Chains A and B, each alone.
Chain A
Amino acid sequence: MSIYQLDARRLICPMPVIKVQEKIKELTVGDRLEVICTDRGVLHDIPAWCRVHGHTIVQMEQAEREIKIIVQVEK
């Protein structure tokens, strides 16, 4: 398992989701992707995208200005 980082700050939805989608194509099962975002829309959209593609949200943290989401690749 490897952990990868993705900076999606200042991108507004759906661009963070598109970036996650593109990055996950390069990863393998069990890898984790840590995404840092600023658009609160990701709180809904990244989990929704993970649900339709069968990936798991491992962690979701919301600070004052930034949101960190960790996705585990499942298939």
Chain B
Amino acid sequence: MLAAKTIMAQGIQVEGINFYTGFCVEGHTHAIRNKDQAKPKRNNALWVAEQLGIKLHIIDIVEEYKNVVLNPKHGYGAHLNPCLDCKIFMVKKAKEWMEANGFDFIITGEVIGQRPKSQRKFTMPIIATQSGANERLLRPLCAKNLAPTLPELEGWVNRDLLHDFTGRSRAPQFALAKQFAIKDYAQPAGGCCFLTNEHYSAKLADLWQARGKREYEIDDIILLKVGRHIRPQDHFKLIMGRDEGENNFLEGYRTQFVHMRVLSHMGPLALIDGEPTAEDIYLSAQILARYSGGRTEATVKIEVNSREGVTWPLEVTPFAADDIPKQWYI
């Protein structure tokens, strides 16, 4: 937002690009849960574009992005976040878009030293060269700490009006925001990607381990964002809604999975991911019963539904809390 404002203040036309990887943390994802209903249900990139008065192009890179997540040349950060490879890939895609749409250069909001993995002095030229953007990549917020780029050398942009921000402190950004009279802003980088989240990364690692191969589809990574995940064995796991909002969301996926509902009491919807046997389904029903209003009853009635639409009842004794080993929780 600040980088765009800085360049727009020089009378230059700016348009925004937002990449959808499938791992994006958005207001809607938060808004699935009842407790998060108060959070704004907005797409932050669109909201920022509207504040800036610029066009925003949202680009689906889900398929191409898999290779970034699965084979990061520069490795992962603290979790499964391939931040440097991600940045290189996105700048490369932005360059392709720039060339296809008649634009002259790319700007990003990067600041040297802001992020431990991808925003360091030595990573800045790596991103520029490995993306192929080279001298057409300008970082307005820290440009004065870097060699002049083509837009500066050609005089398209006045280097004197760019900035020299550095380090983890966001105080200079807050001051600049005040100067531009910006009072509200979207989540700073890092918090916008689920791969930087320890719990999410653990679920993704579990998915790969259980399947015996490192791969994923979009529905896999969406479902990792939702519900309580319990894996009794490698070949199946339960996904249970933690509240009404998550149950409603999981309803949309139910026909793709063997799924169960609690008939005799209030309780969540449970999907079974994998190929469960009859014994696995019975055990899953006992777990589900544990999370139902009948957890202290002698028996709880469960309805099981196959992917083919066949339905049958089960009556099970709910598991006690101690019956579910801690290592089953992902």
Chain A residues in contact with chain B, CB under 8 A? 10, 12-15, 17-18, 21, 38-41, 43-45, 48-49, 51-53
Contacts and interface: CB of A to CB of B under 8 A. Distances in A.
Contacts of A43: 41
A14 B43 contact: yes
B50 A21 contact: no
A39 B222 CA distance: 14
Given A14-B20, A41-B31, A52 B56 contact: yes
B57 A48 contact: no
A27 to B, nearest CB: 16
B252 A10 contact: yes
27 contacts: A13-B26, A14-B20, A14-B24, A14-B26, A14-B43, A14-B58, A15-B20, A17-B43, A17-B58, A18-B59, A18-B60, A21-B57, A40-B41, A41-B26, A41-B31, A41-B43, A44-B41, A45-B42, A45-B43, A45-B46, A48-B47, A48-B50, A49-B56, A52-B46, A52-B50, A52-B55, A52-B56
A18 B20 CA distance: 9
A41 B41 contact: yes
A12 B226 CA distance: 13
A40 B37 CA distance: 13
Interface of A is mostly: helix
Contact of A41 (B28, B58, B59): B28
Contacts of A45: 42-43, 46
Contacts of B47: 48
B5 to A, nearest CB: 16
Contacts of B27: 41
A53 B20 contact: no
A14 B61 CA distance: 12
B60 A39 contact: no
B28 A48 contact: no
A1 B49 CA distance: 29
Contacts, number: 55
B142 interface: no
Contacts of B57: 21
Name, among B26, B46, B59, the residue most crowded by chain A CB atoms within 10 Å (CB to CB): B46
A52 B43 contact: no
A49 to B, nearest CB: 6
Interface in B85-119: none
Most chain B beta carbons < 10 A, residue from A12, A44, A52:
A52
Q: Chain B interface mostly helix, strand, loop or mixed?
A: mixed
A10 B251 CA distance: 11
Contacts of A38: 252
A58 B41 CA distance: 22
B162 interface: no
A49 B49 CA distance: 9
A53 B57 CA distance: 9
A21 B58 contact: yes
Contacts of A41: 26-28, 31, 41, 43
Contacts of A12: 28, 222
B54 interface: yes
Contacts of A15: 20, 60
A14 B17 CA distance: 13
Nearest to B18: A14
A49 B252 contact: no
Contact of B55 (A10, A17, A53): A53
